[in-house]
Amino acid sequence: MKLFLSGFSVFGTFLIMFSLITNVWGNIFLYSILFDIEDLPDSKDIVVTYKVGWKWDDLNRIYAKSNKLKINDEQYYKRICFSDLDNIADCPGVKKILLSDTEYIYKIFDEIKNAYREDRLPDDLYIFSMPHELLAFVDKVEMPCDVTKIIRGRLPYNNSNEVVISNELLKKYFDIDEENPIGKKIVLNNKDYTIVGLWNNHLCMVSFDDSDNYGYFVYNKDNGKERINRIMKYLEQENYDITDEARNTVIYTDANYEKKVLDWLIVNYPADHYVSYEYCLFKKNYMNRRGMFILCGFNIIFALFSCAIIVNILKISFIILAARGIRFDNFYGTYNRTSDLFTKTAFKQYIICFIIVIALSVGMHKQTSHYLLINAIVNIIIFLFARLRGKS
């Protein structure tokens, strides 16, 4: 009897441990695909639009519904066009609008790409600039290259006359051949710039200034039309399907007006795609709330399923132990004491396994370890139900 019970205990422990560890890995996998684990942008009071598809995505619909925004059917395919910029500029809370100069950015991109392909430096010294705060949305805004790959130093701040450049360009255009030229000054278009970073990209990135146009420019009603006409002409020449929209519209808002402006934009231009602190916060909360419900459901179903599997596997052993326990109790007149002892031992066995696995879970992936408590709760309920049923 003792040999049989010890063998049953070892095999049961193995099954419980395997079940709990599988539960842990299932939680980690679901967390990785269901939860938004990206950091929120550190730039507030900015709304950036970018072009992807023709129709507003599900997140815009969910955002509108959650914030009780009413969108008319005729607005369903409406996106921000160049002709809408004056209307947006007059929206309460809008401070200024920046546009991406698609012609300028794409021409630099093509020249740099050809230079890399031919293993040479570009024929001209190209200059690019973008607001430092747009780095928070770097995967959504137009750039001629990846500006995040700095090998030394940092990227330039706004209105600081700073520059990031490569050693090759410094040597070719400024006769500076130093391993670490950070702090040196160079002249670009009659302006002095201080070198604050080095990279391998074959162009200069300078501090953003509202008065310059090195990729992004401030839109206003007086001189914006000329630049827009130039961009539209370029898009037509390059046979783009859409020629009357900016690839990026950057809308700066007054302090604490970001959400109000975002709501207004989604109501009037629901087919556009948006990114901002408030939008990312909503997306994160929505995805994580949905992921939490799915993870809770998974843990409940898994606990019930694994419990049924374990009981079914050990069914014969349960029957044999129960029969021997009944005979033992009947012989000694102890009335179910042996069966109760067996049930309590099995429950303690589960608790010990659970403590071990949850400790491992905290070390492996702390964010999902608390979901394992659902497994324990389900099993405790099953245990109590079995106890009450056995007594009745």
Map tokens 């898009």 to a residue.
Answer: 235
Map tokens 């070892």 to a residue.
Answer: 10
* 56-65, 148-157, 260-269: range with lowest mean pLDDT: 56-65
Phi, psi of 195 (to 5 degrees): -75, 120
CB 374 within 8 A of CB 300: yes
Confidence of residue 346 (pLDDT cuts 50, 70, 90): low
Confidence of residue 167 (pLDDT cuts 50, 70, 90): very high
DSSP-derived secondary structure letter, 181: -
Across 14-18, 232-236, 294-298, the highest mean pLDDT is recorded for: 294-298
Residues facing 185 on adjacent strands: 194
Task: Evaluate if residue 392 carries a pLDDT over 60.
Answer: no
Over the stretch 174-193, which tens digit does the pLDDT of each residue have?
A: 998 888 899 999 999 999 99
Secondary structure of the chain: what % helix, strand, coil (to 5)?
55, 15, 30
CB 196 within 8 A of CB 156: yes
Residue percentage of the chain with pLDDT more than 90: 38
Strand ranges (DSSP E) for the chain? 46-50, 94-100, 127-128, 150-153, 162-165, 185-188, 191-199, 204-206, 216-219, 248-253, 273-276
Task: Evaluate if residue 205 carries a pLDDT over 80.
Answer: yes
Confidence of residue 2 (pLDDT cuts 50, 70, 90): very low
Average pLDDT, stretch 205-219? 91
Task: Evaluate if residue 206 carries a pLDDT over 60.
Answer: yes
Average pLDDT, stretch 114-133? 90
